């Protein structure tokens, strides 16, 4: 059973693609290469136990230069570095000499990290095999005890494991960011629906009013057409803003509505009129919660104007407490009348989903006497940006 799990895990890792968009070389990489090159040259000049000293010191500059490609071409960098180091070991073994490696070459620990951080699974496995060759040669021809051999393999595997951990942690963060962006785009899509529904409903109301008053008031159709033109222009402007945000993935400043925009609903001049009442603690309400309150008020008042027969007024009441914010939209129309031509929309469902999305609740129903009330309660959330 364990063997099957290991085989599946190795198969998945083997098929792992290379990490996209690795960082390019920056000035720090050049500084690192310059410092290491200076250290290698200084060590080569101060030691007299190095075989083929001029050639050995010069050729060991190759792994240092290969550091510049450790992220963009990790396997090629490993091949270049270990070809030099293993080649020197093989030459020293064949000549009966001590290994000609420099202490400064401890920087090679960077390569297994970069290989497992940026390379594909196939490149990581192949590179690990190449790096193990040098350790096996040293273990066989320069036996220094089991403890040192284990330490050498740990020296190789620890940065590889660290690179793998950082790789998958970064991927988990990218997935979380992508999920947040997806939720935000879904919220913006809901904003688009609510905006269009609100303005189109207003256009329909004005058209119906113009038709109804055309006989008794000849100027009514003209006024209705002016209002329809204004609403259509506002609808197109808001649609362009929201669709533009959806395309870019970033929200424009000022696009999101809030508590300060509620007065716009009351000042639109349409009938039945809207009265806005606010009270309690309305400080510290998170921007997404403010947007939800505004959209619920907008949808509820639009529904009231469309469905509340013989209504003379609509009241929007927003009340805040230490932890929650409550909005209630009430009309005084005939709640027993429902227009079958307009009662099949998704406004109430959308308002309920919006409140639930922010950890709140929404209920709607007729009042004991006349009218209808939509009431939503949501936590105030975190107001910090």
Q: Look up the CATH number of the domain holding residue 284.
A: 3.30.565.10
pLDDT class for 343, splitting at 50, 70, 90? very low
Residue of 121, 103, 114 lying closest to 49 (CA atoms): 103
- Using the 3D structure, point to which of 121, 143, 165 is the last residue of a domain: 143
User: Is 385 domain-assigned?
Assistant: yes
pLDDT at residue 385, rounded to an integer: 43
Question: Tokens 């599946």 map to which residue?
Answer: 8
Total tally of structural domains belonging to the chain: 2
Mean pLDDT computed over 163-176: 81
pLDDT at residue 362, rounded to an integer: 92
User: Is 280 domain-assigned?
Assistant: yes
- Using the 3D structure, point to which of 143, 172, 196 is the last residue of a domain: 143
Q: What is the pLDDT of residues 224-265, one digit of tens each?
A: 677 776 667 666 666 665 565 555 554 444 456 788 888 888
pLDDT at residue 146, rounded to an integer: 60
User: Is 6 domain-assigned?
Assistant: yes
Contacts of 89 (CB under 8 A, 6+ apart): 99, 100, 101, 134, 137, 138, 141
- Using the 3D structure, point to which of 82, 108, 143 is the last residue of a domain: 143
pLDDT at residue 344, rounded to an integer: 42
Report the percent of the chain where pLDDT is more than 90: 11
- Distance, in Å, from the CA atom of 331 to the CA atom of 373, rounded to the nearest integer, reads 7
- The yes-or-no verdict on residue 107 having pLDDT over 80 is yes
- Distance, in Å, from the CA atom of 266 to the CA atom of 250, rounded to the nearest integer, reads 30
Let me know the angle formed at the C-alpha of 291 by 180 and 208, rounded to the nearest 5 degrees: 125
User: Is 234 domain-assigned?
Assistant: no
User: Is 343 domain-assigned?
Assistant: yes
Helices (runs of H) and strands (runs of E) counted in the chain: 12, 5
Write out the residue range of the structural domain in which residue 77 sits: 2-143
User: Is 88 domain-assigned?
Assistant: yes
């Amino acid at each position: 059973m364990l063997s099957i799990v290991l085989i599946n895990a190795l198969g998945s890792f083997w098929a792992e693609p290379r990490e996209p968009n690795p960082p390019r070389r920056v000035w720090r990489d050049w500084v690192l290469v310059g410092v290491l090159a200076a250290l290698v040259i200084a060590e080569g000049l101060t030691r007299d136990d190095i075989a083929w000293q001029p050639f050995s010191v010069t050729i060991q500059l190759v792994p240092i230069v290969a550091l510049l490609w450790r992220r963009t071409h990790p396997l090629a960098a490993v091949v270049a570095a270990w070809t030099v180091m293993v080649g020197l070991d093989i030459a020293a073994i064949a000549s009966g000499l001590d290994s000609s490696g420099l202490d400064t070459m401890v920087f090679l620990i960077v390569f297994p990290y970069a290989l497992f951080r940026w390379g594909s699974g196939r490149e990581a496995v192949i590179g690990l095999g190449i790096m193990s060759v040098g350790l096996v040669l040293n273990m066989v021809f320069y036996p220094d005890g089991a403890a040192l051999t284990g330490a050498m393999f740990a020296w190789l595997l620890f940065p590889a494991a660290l690179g793998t951990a950082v790789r998958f942690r970064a991927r988990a963060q990218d997935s979380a960011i992508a999920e947040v962006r997806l939720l935000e785009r879904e919220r913006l899509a809901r904003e688009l629906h609510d905006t269009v529904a609100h303005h189109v409903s207003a256009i329909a109301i004005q058209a119906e009013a113009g038709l109804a008053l055309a006989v008794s008031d000849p100027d009514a159709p003209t006024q209705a057409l002016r209002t329809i033109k204004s609403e259509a222009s506002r609808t197109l402007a808001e649609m362009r803003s929201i669709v533009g945000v959806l395309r870019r993935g970033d929200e424009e400043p000022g696009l999101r509505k809030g508590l300060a925009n509620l007065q716009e609903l009351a000042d639109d001049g349409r009938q039945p009129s809207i009265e806005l009442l606010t009270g309690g603690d309305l400080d510290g309400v998170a921007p997404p919660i403010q947007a939800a309150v505004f959209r619920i008020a907008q949808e509820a008042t639009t529904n009231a104007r469309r469905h509340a027969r013989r209504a003379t007024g609509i009241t929007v009441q927003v009340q805040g407490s230490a932890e929650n914010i409550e909005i209630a939209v009430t009309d005084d129309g005939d709640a027993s009348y429902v227009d079958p031509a307009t009662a099949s929309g998704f406004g109430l469902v959308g308002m309920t989903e919006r409140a639930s999305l922010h950890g709140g609740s929404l209920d709607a129903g007729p009042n004991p006497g006349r009218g209808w009330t939509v009431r939503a309660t949501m936590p105030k959330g975190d107001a910090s940006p």
